[in-house]
């Protein structure tokens, strides 16, 4: 019993140390005109593990303001890398782009509790060796500071039976200024959306791959589980914009995605709450991540032959571009960018060729 207790204490100390040492590696390109923190929009986040970097790419020319959000869930790598690709390559030539690569920095500090995916993934970037972090779905309990409730009723009043979802950022929107640390994080994002006059926002996620567990190579088939992968969820005000973007996405990349409207009865998610609580039109995208498949023993979240990171990050990045174009066609307010890696270029790989 004593040995087990000591082992548990050592594990807790090691996790705490790992969390304390975590710092996102973002290497801004020439297009970044300003670096901020979420605490600039909501001061109580300052000097806490819930604060995170915000990158602004402002053309100085009037136009639309777009927001890219990565890292809502720390174990969904492609959204984070799509955001890095934008920060490290893109220049805005009309309008303004705001990017949060690792919005829940606390979740990034935790090891993956779903499939125990490796914490750091080595790549060769343009400047040499670099590591991409892989975290957990929820805020670190130590940063949350209070035990998970038996059930969780979120700020809009929706009750979830799993109290651990109180630490899931994408169940806590639009947040609460005096709520839990995760609720305050959602509140800070909403403050940014309002302060920056965001016109449209894309929250980038990952889900299980669209296959069932194969018994052999011939049994490996697409479409066995397509509930979330290759999906774009749109706020009701953004359905037409989303539809046009997906048509262009298919024509441009050959990626066919399904469109879903936000479910107004299931509250607390970014795609419904950002749109309901601000003028911004909000979207949420899902790419297929082998690391989300529970049946895989050792998933390769970077170089999987069917779902490489180049494909998944390229999906989010290209989708954002088509949403920006469709929004501009619909409203006359345009966000125009140069330097976005083409999907075909990304697929030629490796991903490090496009990172500083």
Asked whether residue 18 is assigned to any structural domain, the reply reads: no
Asked whether residue 300 is assigned to any structural domain, the reply reads: yes
Local structure of residue 76 (DSSP, 8 states): -
Asked whether residue 173 is assigned to any structural domain, the reply reads: yes
Alpha-carbon span 20 to 158, nearest angstrom: 32
Q: What is the domain count for the chain?
A: 1
Asked whether residue 13 is assigned to any structural domain, the reply reads: no
Quickly count: other Cβ atoms within 10 Å of residue 327's Cβ: 25
Two tokens at 51?
């604060």
Contact 109, 19 (CB under 8 A): yes
Q: What pLDDT is recorded for position 215?
A: 52
Q: What pLDDT is recorded for position 216?
A: 54
| Torsion angles phi and psi, residue 328, rounded to 5 | -65, -40
Two tokens at 223?
């479409």
* Three-class SS state of 244: helix
Strands, E assignment, the chain: 34-37, 53-58, 65-69, 91-94, 96-100, 120-125, 128-133, 152-153, 159-160, 200-207, 231-234, 258-261, 281-288, 336-338
Sign of the C-alpha dihedral, residues 144, 150, 155, 160?
A: positive
Q: What pLDDT is recorded for position 23?
A: 87
Asked whether residue 266 is assigned to any structural domain, the reply reads: yes
Q: Whole-prediction pTM value?
A: 0.91
| Torsion angles phi and psi, residue 74, rounded to 5 | -65, -15
Asked whether residue 15 is assigned to any structural domain, the reply reads: no
Q: What pLDDT is recorded for position 211?
A: 74
CA atoms within 13 A on the CB side of 180: 27
Q: What pLDDT is recorded for position 210?
A: 86
CA atoms within 13 A on the CB side of 65: 16
Asked whether residue 12 is assigned to any structural domain, the reply reads: no
Strands, E assignment, 82-208: 91-94, 96-100, 120-125, 128-133, 152-153, 159-160, 200-207
Contact 29, 57 (CB under 8 A): no
Two tokens at 85?
């690709």
Quickly count: other Cβ atoms within 10 Å of residue 256's Cβ: 9
Residues near 57 by Cβ (< 8 Å), separated by ≥ 6? 31, 32, 33, 86, 87, 90, 91, 92, 96, 97, 98, 99, 337
Domain of 91, CATH number, reads: 3.40.630
Residues spanned by the domain of 277: 31-354
Residues near 3 by Cβ (< 8 Å), separated by ≥ 6? none
Asked whether residue 5 is assigned to any structural domain, the reply reads: no
Per-residue pLDDT of the chain in tens (356 residues, 90 and over written 9): 443 443 334 434 444 444 444 688 999 999 999 999 999 999 999 999 999 999 999 999 999 999 999 999 999 999 999 999 999 999 999 999 999 999 999 999 999 999 999 999 999 999 999 999 999 999 999 999 999 999 999 999 999 999 999 999 999 999 999 999 999 999 999 999 999 999 999 999 999 998 765 555 554 444 444 578 999 999 999 999 999 999 999 999 999 999 999 999 999 999 999 999 999 999 999 999 999 998 888 999 999 999 999 999 999 999 999 999 999 999 999 999 999 999 999 999 999 999 99
Angle at 68 between CA 63 and CA 72, to 5 degrees: 155
Local structure of residue 261 (DSSP, 8 states): E
Length of the chain as a residue count = 356
Contact 319, 285 (CB under 8 A): yes
């Amino acid at each position: 019993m004593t040995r087990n207790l000591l082992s548990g204490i050592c594990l807790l100390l090691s996790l705490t140390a790992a969390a304390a040492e975590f710092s996102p590696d973002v290497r801004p390109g020439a297009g970044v005109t300003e670096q901020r923190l979420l605490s600039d929009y909501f001061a109580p986040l300052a000097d806490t593990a819930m604060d995170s970097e915000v990158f602004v790419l402002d053309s100085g020319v009037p136009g639309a303001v777009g927001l890219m959000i990565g890292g809502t869930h720390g174990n969904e790598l492609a959204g984070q890398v799509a955001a890095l690709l934008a920060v490290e390559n893109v220049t805005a030539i009309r309008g303004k782009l705001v990017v949060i690569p690792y919005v829940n920095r606390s979740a990034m500090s935790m090891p993956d509790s779903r499939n125990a995916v490796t914490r750091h993934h080595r790549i060769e970037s343009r400047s040499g060796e670099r590591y991409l972090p892989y975290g957990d779905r929820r805020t670190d309990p130590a940063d949350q500071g209070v035990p998970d409730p038996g059930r969780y009723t979120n700020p809009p009043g929706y009750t979830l039976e799993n109290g651990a979802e109180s630490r899931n950022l994408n169940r806590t929107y639009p947040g609460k200024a005096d709520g839990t640390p995760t609720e305050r994080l959602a509140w800070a994002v909403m403050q940014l959306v309002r302060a920056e006059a965001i016109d449209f926002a894309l929250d980038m996620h990952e889900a299980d791959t669209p296959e069932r567990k194969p018994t052999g190579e011939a049994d490996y088939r697409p479409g066995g589980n397509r509930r979330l992968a290759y999906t774009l969820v749109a706020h009701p005000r953004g359905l037409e914009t989303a539809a046009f973007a997906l048509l262009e996405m298919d024509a441009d990349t050959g990626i066919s995605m399904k469109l879903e409207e936000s479910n107004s009865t299931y509250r607390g998610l970014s795609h419904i709450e950002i749109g309901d609580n601000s003028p911004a039109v909000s979207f949420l995208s899902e790419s297929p991540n082998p690391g989300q498949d529970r049946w895989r023993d050792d998933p390769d979240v970077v170089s999987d032959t069917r779902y490489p990171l180049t494909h998944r990050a390229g999906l989010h990045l290209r989708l954002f571009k088509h949403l920006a174009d469709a929004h501009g066609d619909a409203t006359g307010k345009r966000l125009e960018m140069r330097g976005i890696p083409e999907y075909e270029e990304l697929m030629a790989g490796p991903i490090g060729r496009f990172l500083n």
